[in-house]
């Protein structure tokens, strides 16, 4: 019987089994940012340890960077302090840092793939749960906490238990106007926000193989919202094509050897899985969340659930969601008036996302009641968009065009919801308070749907807009 990619890559990186019974796993690529790393460096320094493989760790700044005025020192003194700490720590330990002066700066999960750091068959860790994004390349990538960042810095390994593997098989092809975001929101709705606990998700099937790398990243990115710490897709020609010519990709002379390795770690055709879940892409519709976790979503044409139709277990969270959102049970999501539109984040802040949104924004105007922001995921994305004139399209339509960063995805900079504002967001979390206002409200959807909502002033089916 064959082996799946997950177990192959795990075995190749397993150093041994610790007394605790956990595996010691070698980490091929470690990514760090300003929010979760300073305490880890402090612990290293306190114990007189050094960074074992500084050349395998890369740093960038994304979570707290202002997206408007980026002159230093930042007006936010706390943010400035965090920047200084990262600068000091990376210099002291010889770790490359892509800061605001670097053309490579951006959201950590966007720049890894962009620079060719993210490669098939690697283990990748970062102090951020959306590290699962990198699994799109056929790597095992997961988020870790600060104590584990300390361990990886000091030993390039970490203690972790091996999860089970669930194959999520998506057949058919996606209908026009349905995007990767809709696929993953559907999966999370079907399997639940706790469904993936203890599992790594392998996404496969014809619908997945037809996706571009950027779409694959969107899907793997949100695996964590379904409880799965890891999401991945087997590498193929699409992956190899994407990898070519990137700064850290294998050099041309060695490309053959690289491809041999990448092919060798793919899941065997008779690989065993602990569980299989199947879905047909033809049945998918654009999805919109209406509640306070990413599993609380409906198709654009559907109504929000009635409490009486729910299992007792779900009812409590749903009631809480209705309380917070102020929606009436059973009402349609379509037509809900929004105050803010946010296009960006590591889920949907890449060039293909901006292209789709610009297509809709072109020749239209953002509704006068809506504050709309486009925040490219990285400087490279921003530059590409500007080269294509997308920035002008957005600005003309009334969107604000910002600098790269996490921005309103978690609102650690000054981009925040105010009061009870309702935001249509292309990001990944609709948790209470996530977008910076404790009473703020978030509807998650694809970038196309956010752009459509921005120009309509309310939630609409993007497919109904003329010429889309």
Partner 1 sequence: MDTKNMKRESLSGRCIPVRGNDIDTDRIIPARYMKVVSFKGLGEFAFYDERFTSDGSLKSHSFNNDAYKGASVLLVNKNFGCGSSREHAPQALHRAGVTAVIGESFAEIFEGNCGAMGIPALTASPEVIEELMGKTEKHPGLEMEIDIRSAKINYNGVEYNISIPDSSRSSLLAGTWDSTASLLNSGSLISSRAENLPYINGFTK
Rule CB under 6 A: which residues touch ligand SF4? 62-63, 107, 109, 128, 130, 345-346, 406, 409-410, 427-428
The least CB distance from residue 85 to partner 1, in Å, is 5
Q: Which two tokens stand for residue 224?
A: 């964590």
**DSSP assignment of 209-257, as one string?**
HTS-HHHHHHHHHGGGGGT-SEEE----HHHHHHHTT-TTSPPGGGHHH
Instruction: Build a one-symbol-per-residue string for 78-97: x at contacts with partner 1 by CB under 8 A, - elsewhere.
Output: xx-xx--x------------
CA–CA separation, 257 and 56 (whole Å): 20
323 lines the binding site for partner 1 (CB under 8 A): no
Identify the residue among 212, 280, 320, 400 touching partner 1 (CB under 8 A): 320
Q: Is 131 helix (H, G, I), strand (E, B) or coil?
A: helix
Closest-CA residue to 220 (of 6, 461, 58, 451) = 6
Q: Which two tokens stand for residue 153?
A: 């810095």
Q: Among residue numbers 217 through 256, which ones bind partner 1 (CB under 8 A)?
A: 227, 229, 250-251, 254-255
The least CB distance from residue 154 to partner 1, in Å, is 5
Residue 54, Cα to own-chain centre: how many angstroms? 25
Q: What is the dihedral of CA 362, 367, 370, 372, to 10 degrees?
A: 10
Q: Which two tokens stand for residue 214?
A: 């950027």
410, exposed or middle or buried, with CB in 10 Å at 0-12, 13-18, 19+? buried
Closest-CA residue to 214 (of 242, 253, 254) = 242
Q: Which CA distances in Å does 306 have to 187, 253, 309? A: 21, 60, 6
The least CB distance from residue 428 to ligand SF4, in Å, is 5
Closest-CA residue to 344 (of 420, 435, 419) = 435
Q: Among residue numbers 279 through 298, which ones bind partner 1 (CB under 8 A)?
A: 293
The least CB distance from residue 219 to partner 1, in Å, is 19
- For 157, list phi and psi in degrees, rounded to 5: -135, 165
Identify which of residues 224 and 271 has a Cβ nearer to ligand SF4 in the complex.
224
The least CB distance from residue 316 to partner 1, in Å, is 6
Instruction: Look at residue 338 and give the partner it binds from partner 1, ligand SF4, none, a contact being a CB closer than 5 to 8 Å depending on partner kind.
Output: none
210 lines the binding site for partner 1 (CB under 8 A): no
The least CB distance from residue 351 to partner 1, in Å, is 26
The least CB distance from residue 434 to partner 1, in Å, is 5
Instruction: Look at residue 346 and give the partner it binds from partner 1, ligand SF4, none, a contact being a CB closer than 5 to 8 Å depending on partner kind.
Output: ligand SF4
The least CB distance from residue 86 to partner 1, in Å, is 9
Instruction: Build a one-symbol-per-residue string for 393-432: x at contacts with partner 1 by CB under 8 A, - elsewhere.
Output: -----------------xxx----------------x-xx
122 lines the binding site for partner 1 (CB under 8 A): yes
Instruction: Look at residue 164 and give the partner it binds from ligand SF4, partner 1, none, a contact being a CB closer than 5 to 8 Å depending on partner kind.
Output: none
Contact (Cβ atoms closer than 8 angstroms) between residue 245 and residue 112: no
- Taking CB under 8 A as the binding criterion, the range among 11-19, 270-278, 279-287, 450-458 that sits at the site for partner 1 is 11-19
What is the widest separation between alpha-carbon atoms in the chain? 64
Instruction: Build a one-symbol-per-residue string for 344-383: x at contacts with partner 1 by CB under 8 A, - elsewhere.
Output: ----------------------------------------
Instruction: Look at residue 62 and give the partner it binds from partner 1, ligand SF4, none, a contact being a CB closer than 5 to 8 Å depending on partner kind.
Output: ligand SF4
CA–CA separation, 86 and 84 (whole Å): 5
Instruction: Look at residue 277 and give the partner it binds from ligand SF4, partner 1, none, a contact being a CB closer than 5 to 8 Å depending on partner kind.
Output: none
């Amino acid at each position: 019987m064959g082996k799946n990619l997950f177990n192959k890559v795990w075995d190749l990186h397993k150093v041994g089994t610790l007394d605790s019974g956990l595996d010691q796993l070698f980490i091929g690529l470690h990514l760090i940012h300003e929010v979760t790393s300073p305490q880890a460096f402090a612990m290293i320094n306190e114990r007189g340890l050094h960074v074992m493989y500084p050349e395998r760790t890369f740093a960038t700044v994304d979570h707290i960077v202002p997206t408007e005025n980026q002159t230093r020192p930042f007006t936010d003194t706390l943010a400035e302090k965090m920047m200084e700490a990262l600068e000091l720590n990376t210099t002291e330990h010889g770790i490359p840092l892509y800061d605001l002066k670097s053309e490579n700066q951006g959201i950590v999960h966007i720049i890894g793939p962009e620079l060719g750091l993210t490669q098939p068959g690697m283990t990748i860790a970062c102090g951020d749960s959306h590290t699962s994004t990198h699994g799109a390349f056929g790597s095992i990538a997961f988020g870790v906490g600060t104590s584990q960042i300390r361990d990886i810095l000091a030993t390039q390994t970490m203690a972790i238990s091996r999860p089970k593997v669930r194959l999520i098989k998506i057949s058919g092809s996606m209908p026009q106007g349905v995007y990767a975001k809709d696929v993953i929101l559907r999966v999370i709705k079907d399997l639940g926000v706790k469904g993936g606990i203890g599992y790594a998700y392998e996404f496969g099937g014809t619908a997945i193989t037809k996706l571009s790398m950027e779409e694959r990243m969107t899907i793997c990115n949100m695996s964590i919202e379904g409880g799965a710490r890891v999401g991945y897709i087997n590498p193929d020609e699409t992956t190899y094509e994407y990898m070519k010519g990137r700064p850290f990709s294998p050099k041309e002379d060695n490309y053959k050897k690289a491809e041999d390795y990448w092919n060798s770690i793919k899941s065997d055709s008779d690989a065993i899985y602990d569980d299989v879940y199947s879905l047909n892409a033809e049945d998918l519709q654009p999805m919109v969340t209406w509640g306070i976790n990413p599993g609380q979503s409906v198709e654009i044409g559907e109504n929000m659930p009635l409490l009486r139709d729910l299992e007792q277990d779900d009812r409590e969270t749903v009631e809480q969601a209705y309380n917070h959102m102020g929606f009436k049970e059973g009402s349609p999501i379509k037509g809900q008036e929004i105050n803010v539109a946010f296009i960006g984040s590591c889920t949907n802040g890449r060039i293909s996302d901006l292209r789709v949104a610009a297509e809709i924004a072109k020749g239209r105007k953002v509704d006068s009641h809506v504050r709309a922001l486009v925040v490219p995921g990285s400087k490279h994305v921003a530059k590409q968009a500007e080269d294509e004139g997308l920035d002008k399209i957005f600005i003309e339509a009334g969107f604000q065009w910002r600098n790269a960063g996490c921005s309103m995805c978690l609102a650690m900079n000054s981009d925040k919801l105010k009061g009870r504002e309702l935001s249509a967001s292309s990001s990944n979390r609709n948790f209470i308070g996530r977008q910076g206002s404790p009473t703020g409200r978030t509807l998650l959807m694809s970038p196309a749907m956010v752009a459509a909502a921005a120009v309509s002033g309310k939630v609409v089916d993007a497919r109904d807009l003329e010429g889309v």
